[in-house]
Amino acid sequence: MNHQGLSVIFSPVLAATRALALGVLLSLLGLHAKAVETVRVGVLAFGTVNWELQAMQNAGLDTAHGVQLQVVPLASGDASTVALQGGAVDVIVSDWLWVARQRAAGKAFSFYPYSTAVGGIIVPANSPLRQLADLRGKRLGIAGGPQDKSWLLLRALAQQTLGADLATMVTPQFAAPPLLNRLLEQGDLDAVLNFWHFGARLQAQGMRELISTQTAVRELGVGLELPLIGWVFDSKWAEQHPAAIGGFLSASYQTKALLARDDQAWDGLRSTMKAPNEAVFKALRDAYRAGTPHCFGAAQREAADKAFAVFLAHGGAAMTGGLRQLDAQVFWPGPAPKACQPL
């Protein structure tokens, strides 16, 4: 039989094989496309959460975990909680005390750790203030309002160690974080209790931290670095979309691990961070890294119970939504990070 005859005989077989292979490939591609779920993440328009989400997308870690991020910019923290409750977004960053209050009101939200970075009290480099007791009679600027968690923790510490309420020891001035920084720079305040990234900008100028919120947490006997803020989402949505929430949380923690070890991963974030110089850029980067939660397990949940008791004692039932103890269902069980394994 000649080659032309062989070609005639095998061409239908080859065509069928190619068609079958193409069909399998298209089927696999179709399955992959169906496996990718959109996760709508509500963030403050210029907030630090954007850094992690951008780094996640830059590295392709969202799609690698089967999720497609849809970043939804919002105007304020209140706007983010309203958007979550209204179903306009799937995930936001908030604190577990807000989640506890919502659960007390019958709304099934859950929390998973995002960061241990909260903030602290910053003073000028040449300030004579060295410890909490030195704040007596001073002008203290406070971000977040009278029910701010850092403020309540520091009030509790002053009560425990000094036998005095910090709210009456100082002249408190509540204001927006950028304004507080300006007032401290101008000498119109003696100290500020500000969020971590605003504190980092001041420290880059040579100012120093008098005490951090995490130091207060430890000295109050809570004993561990405690993530006060985290990813918050509707538990029912998460149960209905296990691949979406599991993929998103895994991508988040892989992104944190990347940012913790790889300086180059930060280069693509410079424009988003809006650091005016290299010193501020490095201060923000290092402060973010310092807030990376490495562990969350039974010990951390016990620490949260102790912190909740502090909030109840100093913020009252209004702050805890009438709860007398922390609902264990506040904390989502996983999948990442693995129980108490370093990133």
What is the predicted pLDDT for the residue at 13? Answer: 45
Per-residue pLDDT at 5 exceeds 70: no
Euclidean distance between CA atoms 111 and 331, whole angstroms = 5
Taking alpha carbons only, the member of 216, 207, 213, 211 closest to residue 127 is: 207
- Largest Cα separation within the chain, whole Å, is 106
At 44-60, the pLDDT tens digits run 988 999 999 999 999 99
Average pLDDT, integer, range 189-193: 98
Q: What is the DSSP letter of 129?
A: -
Global pTM? 0.85
Quote the CA–CA distance of 239 and 251 in Å, as a whole number. Answer: 18
Q: Which helix (H) or strand (E) holds 177?
A: helix 177-186
10-24, 140-154, 319-333: which is most confident:
140-154
Q: Which residue has the higher pLDDT, 324 or 138?
A: 138
Residue 32 pLDDT: 47
* Selected residue with higher pLDDT from 22 and 6: 22
Higher pLDDT, 185 or 9: 185
- Which residue in this structure is represented by tokens 């990442």? 336
Nearest one of 58, 40, 68, 29 to 247, comparing CA atoms: 68
How many whole angstroms separate alpha carbon 1 and alpha carbon 6? Answer: 7
Worst-scoring range by mean pLDDT, 232-241, 266-275, 304-313? Answer: 304-313
Whether 340 has a pLDDT exceeding 70, the answer reads no
Q: What is the pLDDT of residue 10?
A: 39
Among 153, 134, 174, residue whose Cα is nearest residue 216:
153
Q: How confident is the model at residue 274 (pLDDT cuts 50, 70, 90)?
A: very high
Q: Tell me the pLDDT band of 12, cut-offs 50, 70 and 90.
A: very low
CA 289 to chain centre: 12
Confidence bin at 328 (pLDDT 50/70/90)? confident
pLDDT of residue 296: 81
**Higher-scoring residue by pLDDT: 100, 35:** 100
Mean pLDDT of 218-225: 83
